[in-house]
Each structure stands twice: as C-alpha cells, then as structure tokens.
Amino acid sequence: MGKRYFCDYCDRSFQDNLHNRKKHLNGVQHLRAKRAWYDLFRDAAAILQEEQTKKPCRKFLQTGQCDFGSSCRFSHMTEQDLEKLSAQVQGEQRSKELQQEGADVPPGTIEDWLEKRAKRLSAAQSNSVPHPAPHHTAAAGLLLPERALACVLAPCSLPQPGKHPIKGIRITTNDLAPC
C-alpha cells in the first residue's frame, strides 16, 4: 500500500508522493482549512480591524445565515458583537499597559476566578439536598465517597459476603465494615 500522508488541517490522508502532496497543499480546500485554523488564533485587535473595514452582510442580517460562511467578504458581526470585541481589545490594551508599568496583578486574574468559584460553590450547596451520610468503610482503611454511596446505596444494602453478581469477584467479610 505504501506510505500515506495525513493532513491535520483537512483531516484527510492520501498516498504520499510528490505529485499528490503538491496538488493537495496548493488546493483550495487545504488553503481554506489552513486559513480557518490560523484564524482561530488571531488576536481580537486584528479581528476588530478587519471586521470594521467590511460592510455588513445583508443576507446574514436578514436570515441569520449566509451561503458563503466564513469565506464571505462581508461582515457577519452585529453592532453588539463589534462593541463586545472593541471592549475586549481595550481590556487587553489596558492589561498590556499595566504589565509594562510593572503592576503586580493585572485585572481579571486569580482573585476574580476565586470569587466566581466561591459564588458557584455556595449556589451549588444551597441548591443541593443533604444526603444521609453512609457508615460503610473499606477494609483497606479507605473511605468510600459518601455522596456516591448515599445516592446509590441505601443503608446496609451492601452485598452479602459470598459470590458477587459479576463473575470472578468475591466479597468477603473483610471487605465490609459492620453497620
């Protein structure tokens, strides 16, 4: 069968020889896929500058769809999207300026994340129903996850010593703690 070449941009493979590889690498499909991949990593300032120079796509504004997709020469961004993008660019510029001035903590870092995390955890705890704590432990001294057992097992419903329903697993009295 011979060697095969796999193109990560196009997610295709083909026989690896000079003619096929050259034909693929210069093909329209490959060039579009490669451009789309690198567009994912462009900074917000470059995207904003490009989108501001384009006229709005009438078809996209009317129907919410465009037959040309990402290769359309008109802009598919609404005014709100452009405002959000410009705010993001301004925030990035401010953070760069703060870093150049030697500020210790730029805005939007670990403190913001910790604050959001604390809010999420408190909301999750207030929404959850308290589970009764099971009193089963493993013989090796490892505590079994309380919430997992409380949701799955009722108290004292662990399998009895003897054969386990799954073939080849044997439960002994050493594996269970008394109820």
d(CA 149, CA 142): 14
Q: What is the pTM of this model?
A: 0.45
| Phi, then psi, of 6 in degrees rounded to 5 | -115, 125
User: CB-based contacts of 21: which residues, under 8 Å, 6+ apart?
Assistant: 5, 14
CA atoms within 13 A on the CB side of 2: 7
Dist CA 36 CA 39 (whole Å): 5
Report the residue count for the chain: 179
User: Sorting pLDDT into bands at 50, 70 and 90, what band is 22?
Assistant: very high
Overall average pLDDT of the 150-164 stretch: 46
Mean pLDDT, residues 1-19: 90
User: Which is higher by pLDDT, 58 or 106?
Assistant: 58
- Averaged confidence pLDDT in the chain: 75
pLDDT at 146: 45
